[in-house]
Chain A
Amino acid sequence: MIQALIFKEWLKLRWALCGLLLVGLGILGFMAQSLMADFASGPAVPIWQNLVERQVMFFSGFKSFGILTGLVTALVQWLPDTPNRGLRLQFHLPFPQMQGMAVMVGCGAGLIFVVSLSMLGLLLLLTRYYFPPPVVEAVGITMLPWLMAGLPVYAMSSAALVEPHPLRKICYAVIGWQVAALYLEGCGYAGFKEVLFSYLLLGLGLLFAPFLPGKRFKGEGL
């Protein structure tokens, strides 16, 4: 049953995965082209120094990528199942309901991890080609919270989509938006270095958020 559920999620999410990877690769391509032009025009040290002194972020195109990933994943995953009550049918399968929900959330979160980590890996490879290791490290630490913002956006968008009551829908959407804003606050390079783990825990913890709305969706007035 778990495999069947995963396959069902794969059918829903595969195009989102391809689309998000394409968008990410497009941003990376644009970035690579821009870096190539900069480095072709002269020695690297003034560019490195400019980056260090002025905190220029050549990868700022990725700032909203995490949010986009979380939002697209939630919409693609839950929107087809909620208006026509497909999710309620799933809850009546001979399989523990919340375990089924966990498989769905796990698939959504898995997609976010796959997309985010591949973009992070490619960005770090590109950065290492042009910059020394301290820049690579700083770019990685700066980029991580931006990508992690996808987790609260995904979790709270899912909760908002699944939740049947309009007021709670609005509250969950506002909470997701506010939590995601914390991950994107302008902090310069490596500003999240000391608190990265706390924010990761917050994002992972939030993945439990859609379960209670899911139960309410089934119509068990909680």
Chain B
Amino acid sequence: MGERIWISISRWVLCLVGVLVLAVVLPRMFDMAFKKSSPSSFVLYSPVTEGFLFSGNSPEGEFRYRDEAGNLYDRKTYMSLTPLFWYRDLFAWKIMPETLGGVPITREAVEAGAQFFRYRPGDMQREGIALWPLLESASEFSDLRLPETLFWNKGRLIFENGLTRRRDATFTEAVETSLSDAGFVFPVAAVWGNPTTKKPHDDGWFLLDAEGRLFHLKQEKGLPICRNTGLAPPSGIRHVAVTEDARKEFFGYLITGDGGFHVLMQENYALVRLDLEDFDPDTMGLLFMADLLGRTLVYGDGEGFYALRLDREYRPLHRYTEARFPAFSQGTAVARAILFPFTLKTRASYTKAADFALVPSGLLSLVGILFAFLSFVLIRKKMEKPLCPGIREGVVLLLGGLYGLLVLCVEDGWFRGEKGQSRS
């Protein structure tokens, strides 16, 4: 390789890496200086006013309790309007209504009707260590205990014994037979479940077979039991989460390939699709709150949130949508787009995983790139150097805008103010 090629590659590498580093560092510094935290409200449904109530900081930083119309409440009034959430206080104050919507209200009934779970877009992306326990679901003990084996998926489920630290061929075979007997077609495409022992009971694992059908695997009295759920949505299954709540109304939730959010009922593995308008499981988080009288779902992303009230049969009763306050003011957002033609994203959006992606800032960045070109020409003119940028300089300025200008300033020695030196 000729000497000039080594030098040329080295120069390109130094410039491009300089641009990439600036595309990480400068936007982070800008965000630290100008990004405002977008206040999010906690949303509850009021069976008293039959509307949603919100608690949280206003953009001015003041903590407020308000309703959909913007009426403000004091804390105690707010709590009395959402009695099924603040029931402990209301019972203590002896102001809990005797009936709500015609349903008698007792402390036991309120406690038995409550369930919460949260979905985050990162839940669909697997990370970490894929090693799980198949817990005993029909244990005679009150608490759940870790088994002697853990398993993982290599197209078939493989169990390794923790005492011998060897593969448990007998149990691996027994699980495989159980799956085959239920009509499971190998290889195992996906495994979903809740591996913790800190839960009221165990509902086992859901497995996706090679034909896109969902199977349910449990361990009962030491034996693997597999059932075909009969579920095989045409759009496919993207994610299943097992929530395991003492209410035992449903196993958890299921997201299909078309973005549908379903509750997977305990009874006959029935799927109930929730009527979530504009829900995008790839970008939106969701909070599910069940109470004695119905279900509340709050979902959204950085731009806005949606609230939906369902009755106990999962029929919509009431909806509300609100935009969030943007993290940047309009002027700051424009300045950011002009200054930084792109940012280098090194962290995934919804998980802890690493990323390496260029995120363009949009058409406004062309203004910044034009400014960088003009500055380049002016500097070159002052230094009495050729005004027309070379290929490397052109590419670095075109891609990097301000980043490129800074990199060329250092790499080409403009800081030394040498005049008349030819471009290399």
Interface size on B, residues (CB 8 A): 49
* B interface footprint on A198-222 (CB within 8 Å = 1, 0 otherwise): 1100100110111111010000011
Which chain A residue shows the least CB distance to B6? A98
* B195:A132 contact, CB within 8 angstroms: no
Complex Cα–Cα for A145 and B17 (A)? 18
Return chain A residues, CB-CB under 8 Å to B7: 98, 211-212, 215, 222
Complex Cα–Cα for A140 and B132 (A)? 19
Interface residues of B in 149-175 (CB under 8 A from A): 149-150, 152, 160, 162-163, 165
Return chain A residues, CB-CB under 8 Å to B10: 208-213, 215
B146 on the A face (CB < 8 A): yes
Which chain B residue shows the least CB distance to A132? B160
Which chain A residue shows the least CB distance to B347? A185
Selected interface stretch from B286-294, B351-359, B375-383: B351-359
Return chain B residues, CB-CB under 8 Å to A179: 17, 20-21
* B6:A138 contact, CB within 8 angstroms: no
* B353:A192 contact, CB within 8 angstroms: yes
* B6:A101 contact, CB within 8 angstroms: yes
A4 on the B face (CB < 8 A): no
Which chain B residue shows the least CB distance to A197? B356
* B415:A43 contact, CB within 8 angstroms: no
B69 on the A face (CB < 8 A): no
Interface residues of B in 298-324 (CB under 8 A from A): none
Interface size on A, residues (CB 8 A): 59
* A45:B150 contact, CB within 8 angstroms: yes
* A132:B9 contact, CB within 8 angstroms: no
Interface residues of B in 1-35 (CB under 8 A from A): 1, 3, 6-7, 9-11, 13-14, 17-18, 20-21, 24-25
* A132:B11 contact, CB within 8 angstroms: no
* A138:B24 contact, CB within 8 angstroms: no
Complex Cα–Cα for A178 and B344 (A)? 13
Return chain B residues, CB-CB under 8 Å to A189: 127-129
Report which of A51, A191, A210 forms a contact with B354, defined as CB distance below 8 A: A191
Report which of B148, B165, B195, B353 forms a contact with A191, defined as CB distance below 8 A: B353
Complex Cα–Cα for A52 and B160 (A)? 15
Return chain A residues, CB-CB under 8 Å to B411: 168
* B interface footprint on A133-146 (CB within 8 Å = 1, 0 otherwise): 11100100000010
The CB with the most chain A CB atoms within 10 A, among B165, B352, B421, is that of B165
* A49:B146 contact, CB within 8 angstroms: yes
Return chain A residues, CB-CB under 8 Å to B24: 178, 182
A26 on the B face (CB < 8 A): no
A10 on the B face (CB < 8 A): no
A206-B17 CB under 8 A given contacts A45-B148, A52-B129, A138-B129? yes
* A interface footprint on B335-365 (CB within 8 Å = 1, 0 otherwise): 0000000000011000111111000000000
A188 on the B face (CB < 8 A): yes
B395 to A: closest C-beta gap in Å: 15
Interface residues of A in 62-95 (CB under 8 A from B): none
Return chain A residues, CB-CB under 8 Å to B421: 221
* B interface footprint on A166-177 (CB within 8 Å = 1, 0 otherwise): 011001101100
The CB with the most chain A CB atoms within 10 A, among B129, B150, B413, B415, is that of B129
* B131:A178 contact, CB within 8 angstroms: no
Report which of A132, A208, A211 forms a contact with B131, defined as CB distance below 8 A: A132
A102 on the B face (CB < 8 A): yes
Return chain B residues, CB-CB under 8 Å to A205: 13, 17
A46-B21 CB under 8 A given contacts A98-B3, A185-B354, A191-B127? no
* B163:A43 contact, CB within 8 angstroms: yes
B147 on the A face (CB < 8 A): yes
Return chain A residues, CB-CB under 8 Å to B1: 98-99, 102
B153 to A: closest C-beta gap in Å: 9
Complex Cα–Cα for A167 and B17 (A)? 17
Report which of A53, A96, A175, A213 forms a contact with B17, defined as CB distance below 8 A: A175
Which chain A residue shows the least CB distance to B415? A167
* B3:A134 contact, CB within 8 angstroms: no
Report which of A46, A55, A221 forms a contact with B128, defined as CB distance below 8 A: A55
A59 on the B face (CB < 8 A): no
* A interface footprint on B100-141 (CB within 8 Å = 1, 0 otherwise): 000000000000000000000000000111111100000000
Return chain B residues, CB-CB under 8 Å to A53: 195-196
B410 on the A face (CB < 8 A): yes
Return chain B residues, CB-CB under 8 Å to A97: 3
A209-B13 CB under 8 A given contacts A48-B162, A134-B130, A175-B18? yes
Complex Cα–Cα for A190 and B351 (A)? 12
Complex Cα–Cα for A165 and B416 (A)? 10
* B17:A45 contact, CB within 8 angstroms: no
B237 to A: closest C-beta gap in Å: 22
Return chain B residues, CB-CB under 8 Å to A133: 152
Return chain B residues, CB-CB under 8 Å to A1: none
Return chain A residues, CB-CB under 8 Å to B356: 195, 198-199, 202
A interface list, Cβ under 8 A from B: 43-46, 48-49, 51-53, 55, 96-99, 101-102, 130, 132-135, 138, 145, 159, 165, 167-168, 171-172, 174-175, 178-179, 182, 185-195, 198-199, 202, 205-206, 208-213, 215, 221-222
22 cross-chain CB contacts under 8 A: A48-B131, A51-B129, A52-B128, A98-B3, A99-B3, A132-B152, A134-B129, A138-B128, A165-B416, A172-B14, A175-B21, A179-B20, A179-B21, A190-B127, A191-B352, A191-B354, A194-B353, A199-B356, A209-B13, A211-B6, A212-B7, A215-B10
B interface list, Cβ under 8 A from A: 1, 3, 6-7, 9-11, 13-14, 17-18, 20-21, 24-25, 127-133, 146-150, 152, 160, 162-163, 165, 195-196, 346-347, 351-356, 410-411, 413, 415-416, 421, 424
7 additional A-B pairs beyond A44-B162, A99-B1, A211-B7, beta carbons within 8 Å, are A52-B195, A171-B410, A182-B346, A186-B352, A205-B13, A206-B13, A212-B14
